[in-house]
Amino acid sequence: MKRLFLGLLAGILIGIFSLSGCTLLPATPTPELSWDDWQTAAPGEVGLDEQLLNEAVERINSGDYTNVHAILIIKDGKLVFEEYFRGYTWDFYGEKFRGDLVEFDEHRLHNLASVTKSFTSALIGIAIDQGVIPSVEEKVWTYFPEYNDLRDETKDKISLAHLLTMTSGLEWNGMDIPVSSRDTRNDLVQLFMVADPIAYVLAKPVVDEPGTRWYYNGGGTNVLGEVIRKASGMRMDEFAEQYLFSPLGITDYEWDFINPDLIHASGNLRLRPRDMAKLGMLFLNEGVWRGEQIVSEDWIKKSTQAHATTSWESGYGYQWWLVTYRSGLQIFDSFYANGWGGQRIIVFPSLEMVVVFTGGNYIEGNPVDEIIERYILPAVQ
């Protein structure tokens, strides 16, 4: 009702100013307070140009930018921009991976796709902070003696760090046969088909010396999820509930399962966009949320520095991407969690800003980077 009233008022004002030869874009409403304890403010209160942000919204609503489901901006610790749009829910078997047409809002869970990997990485960091995992240098086979028959001299070198940075050297075909092809030869799709998904990953031959070459490998992330279970005695979703979600006040979520007892640690966690933003704020604030140290500052720093070089971004950390954005003559370093279809949690440390996107661009081009460079970064005054 509030937004409807604001829209009607804005329409009247636009009509008046149009008669005088002027144009006035509607003011961006301040995000509403809710039970999830976000502090809110209007964009202008933290120095954001509301007209630029409104122009981005207009282009989405007009169809210039397609399949954007939500944009949230947290600046100086406050939720200052929150817009939701109509779009299709995720359905792997639907045409263009589309399910039902819905109005997205702050209460609807969204499929995060591979943004899930950054949550899994954070859980590894928490387990290390607790001492149940000694360090990222622990060898993978320490946790899987039942698969000793799959070991060889080179595989014995693979550490948790190699899985975190996707430099294990294990054969994988996710970049060569993408999930979007629905080709059952895709290794990630195979995880949902085989009797023992962990054995499937660990049985893969080593095609590169561990630590020497980056290749996008979600199989390794699912192994990390089982390392958490082996080390802590808790399935990854239980560990997350107790040590990450509950401290962050995340109460509404759904994990995807590869089989009835194996969490899909590399993808398809479902969260509200406001709760996605909490992970971004946790990492922006060096592991602290509402005065509580949830994950160590050391883990945050190590996770968000480049440990590997990729073919299309500035670098890769512990399941976080590093990228430099450009806006005019200015350069902004960032790190982000990235998911297929336009899911993104982007942290700009120098701006004290977190930006969250959700979307459904599983087939079409993704407009996220253009929106950031054309509207959001220039809006920072």
Q: What is the pLDDT along the chain (381 residues), one digit of tens a residue?
A: 333 333 333 333 333 333 333 333 444 567 765 557 799 999 999 999 999 999 999 999 999 999 999 999 999 999 999 999 999 999 999 999 999 999 999 999 999 999 999 999 999 999 999 999 999 999 999 999 999 999 999 999 999 999 999 999 999 999 999 999 999 999 999 999 999 999 999 999 999 999 999 999 999 999 999 999 999 999 999 999 999 999 999 999 999 999 999 999 999 999 999 999 999 999 999 999 999 999 999 999 999 999 999 877 789 999 999 999 998 889 999 999 999 999 999 999 999 999 999 999 999 899 999 999 999 999 997
- CA-CA-CA-CA torsion sign (302, 305, 309, 311): positive
Q: Could you give the CA distance from residue 221 to residue 198 in angstroms, rounded to a whole number?
A: 10
CA distance linking residue 239 with residue 251, whole number of Å: 14
- Hey, what long-range contacts does 317-321 have (CB within 8 A, 24 or more apart)? 317/165, 318/121, 318/124, 318/125, 318/136, 318/161, 318/164, 318/165, 319/117, 319/118, 319/120, 319/121, 319/164, 319/221, 320/118, 320/121, 320/283
pLDDT of residue 16: 34
Buried b (16+ CB within 10 A) or exposed e, 113-150: bbbbbbbbbbbbbbbbbeebbeebebebbebbeebeee
Query: Among residues 299, 300, 291, 298, which one has the least CA distance to residue 247?
Result: 291
Record the pTM.
0.91
Partners of 40 in the β-ladder: 79
For tokens 């509301």, the residue is: 50
Give the pair of three-digit tokens for residue 352: 């004290």
What is the pLDDT, as a whole number, of residue 6? 37
Distance CA 222, CA 170 (A): 13
Q: Which long-range contacts (CB under 8 A, 24 or more apart) does 359-363 make?
A: 359/67, 359/68, 359/69, 359/70, 359/87, 360/67, 360/69, 360/87, 360/88, 360/90, 360/97, 360/98, 361/66, 361/67, 361/68, 362/90, 362/96, 362/97, 362/180, 363/96, 363/97, 363/180
Give the total residue count for the chain.
381
